[in-house]
Amino acid sequence: MHHTLLLTLNAGSSSVKFAVYAATPALPLLAVGKIEGLGAQARFSVRSTADVASGFGLAPEPALNNHAEAVQAILRWQQHAFAGAQVLAVSHRVVHGGTSHVAPVLIDDAQVVALERLVPLAPLHQPHNLAGIRAARLAFPGVPQIACFDTAFHRHHGFVADTFALPRRYYDEGIRRYGFHGLSYEFIARRLHADHPALAAGRVIVAHLGNGASMCAMRNGRSVASTMGFTALDGLPMGTRCGQLDPGVVLYLMTEKGMDAAAISHLLYQESGLKGLSGLSHDVRTLQASDNPAAHEALAYFADRCRREIGSLSASLGGLDALVLTGGIGENAAAVRAAILADMGWLGIELDPQANQDHATAISTPASRVSVLVFKTNEERMLAEHAAELLML
């Protein structure tokens, strides 16, 4: 029986993902779960690693309307599933850490206030992350709460990689390129260092391709450039987000279409990307199964922008030794990977079509100068590792 536990929380707009680890040096995963549909018909699902079939139904639960009620439900489940075990710490994913957070921190009242000030920088994510933190502080009084930031991994960039060509005062105010998906990139960097140390020491691009998508250029395991900028809208097209966009388009929508900030925000965050281009869906699986030409044009655009960003980040690294694909699309969509990596011999990438089709870890040919790997990312594990390191387990 495990007597002390680490709990990780990743709070979204209508969901809370969580995982439970034993608070021992190896951090074995004990259970992983999520609550979806907050405020509507909430569903609680959990998978224990000891007993894969163990589900925890919502039958005894009242309606879960918000994050506080969801975290209380997780607490009740934890007390039932791990009777007598103590939660040593709760580790939270926080999307934006601003300019000052370069590492995970213990959360106190002052930290909550500081993180609230960053809500305008990540309006779709930060309020929900904070709701999860508030809920957990109430549900687990006296238990250390740790914030881990998606921006922290990129906070060592030089000025050139971080700035926009705006008057300098805006940079000083914090209008700069932050980059995101840092917990995923850090997990991949550590895994690469453990499994492929020679590659990890070199020039690596990691492509986190999911509903949110970005790429990160790393040298010796450290981020040197990212495709995402001031917000999670920049760079690659995503499920419902536009990616790179001429700012003149936004001005045009304001002046000629009479759209206000709220309407433009809704358009760029919720109605664009693969969903907007296809007019069908944000989901790559749906688009691949469709015989609608617009669905295939959306996927072709996605692949083309990925290719351009690989070229751009290779230039910032002065060459490339390895490319790692991760995230829901990177890990599972063989056809999308093939489209991104076709005719990349000029960069030293030679795809092995069979290995790609078989979802092998290495999908480049033995002769390929650049190693292409597919890794499964694990942001929850990164949250647990950060908590363990901060508490010096």
How many CB atoms are located within 10 Å of the residue 197 CB?
A: 10
Q: φ and ψ at 227, to 5 degrees? A: -80, -25
Q: How high is the pLDDT of residue 242? A: 98
CB neighbour class for 168 (10 Å; exposed up to 12, middle 13-18, buried from 19): exposed
The reported pTM is: 0.94
Which residues on neighbouring strands pair with residue 222, listed in sequence order? 219
- Give the residue numbers marked as catalytic: 150
CATH topology of domain 4-149: Nucleotidyltransferase; domain 5 (3.30.420)
Query: Is residue 140 helix, strand or coil?
Result: coil
Residue 62 has a pLDDT of 59
Cβ atoms of residues 357 and 64 within 8 Å: no
DSSP code of 51? Answer: -
Residue with tokens 């890794």: 375
Length of the chain, please?
393
Domain 4-149 shares a fold with domain 182-379: yes
- The residues spanned by each domain of the chain are 4-149, 182-379
Domain 182-379 has CATH 3.40.47.10: no
Tell the residue number behind the tokens 């309307």, with chain if given: 65
**Beta pairing class for 213-219 and 43-48:** unpaired
Strand order in the sheet with 4-11: 43-48, 29-36, 15-22, 4-11, 86-94, 145-149, 105-106
Provide the phi-psi class of 95: left if phi over 0, else alpha when psi is between -120 and 50, else beta: alpha
- Closest alpha carbon to 380 in 26, 17, 135: 17
Q: How far apart are CA 240 and CA 272, in angstroms?
A: 5
| Residue 61 confidence (pLDDT) | 54
* Integer Cα distance of 305 and 236 in angstroms: 6
Q: How many CA atoms lie within 13 A of 121 on its CB side?
A: 24
What does the DSSP 8-state code read for residue 362?
B
pLDDT tens track, the chain, 393 positions: 568 999 999 999 889 999 999 999 999 999 999 998 888 788 888 888 765 444 554 444 557 889 999 999 999 999 988 989 999 999 999 999 999 999 999 999 999 999 999 998 888 889 999 999 999 999 999 999 999 999 999 999 999 999 999 999 999 999 999 999 999 999 999 999 999 999 999 999 999 999 999 999 999 999 999 999 999 999 999 999 999 999 999 999 999 999 999 999 999 999 999 999 999 999 999 999 999 999 999 999 999 999 999 999 999 999 999 999 999 999 999 999 999 999 999 999 999 999 999 999 999 999 999 999 999 999 999 999 999 999 988
